[in-house]
Structure 1
Amino acid sequence: MSCQGKDLWPELVGVRGEEAAATIERENPTVSADIILDGKIVLGLFLCTRVYVWVNTSGICVKVPMIG
């Protein structure tokens, strides 16, 4: 499936989750960035309008955010 706009943000690993989410939504206004605690179970449904920002308990992005 091909989604609109930028779909991958490897440069945000190590950044605070709130800052990462704001950057993602600014760089691709077609998506909503959701901050999720790493290890939490989420639905496996692929959506072109969603990016999960996986953070650790300190609120730091620990996985590459991508559309899905």
Structure 2
Amino acid sequence: MSVPIPGKSSWPELVGVNATLAATAIAHDRPDVAVEVLPPGAPVIPDFNPARVRVFIDNNNLVAKVPVIG
């Protein structure tokens, strides 16, 4: 059983930021999680994964929703 590393669990300040910059910032803050950048309309499985952050972007490659752990 893994023990989560304490740290940030959401990044509201990244909404509207370029996807690459946002993914880099999240990876810097939480190197223990995988960052997934997802384009508009990408299919996702509605599961919870404490080792993942999904970054939903718009058609301009900007973060569209607050990235959160899960």
Write the distance in 1 (CA, Å) between the matches of 2:51 and 2:24.
Answer: 15
Query: Is the 8 Å Cα contact of residues 4 and 30 (structure 1) preserved in structure 2?
Result: no
One-letter identity of the residue aligned with 2:15: V
Q: For the Cα contact (< 8 Å) 1:3–1:48, is it kept in 2?
A: no
Q: Deviations over 1:7-36 (max 9, x none)?
A: 000000000001000000100111111100
Partner in structure 2 of residue 63 of structure 1: 65
In terms of Rg, which structure is larger?
2
RMSD between aligned alpha carbons?
1.5
Q: Which moved more, 1:40-49 or 1:16-25?
A: 40-49
State whether residues 5 and 32 of structure 2, in contact with CA within 8 Å, keep that contact through their aligned partners in structure 1.
no
**Structure 1 CA distance, aligned partners of 2:69 and 2:10?**
7
Percentage of identical aligned residues: 37
Q: Which structure 2 residue ranges, 5 or more long, are not aligned?
A: none
Name the TM-score, length of structure 2 as normaliser: 0.86
How many positions carry a matched residue from both structures?
67
Relative to the length of structure 1, the TM-score reads: 0.88
Stretches of structure 1 lacking an aligned partner (at least 5 in a row): none
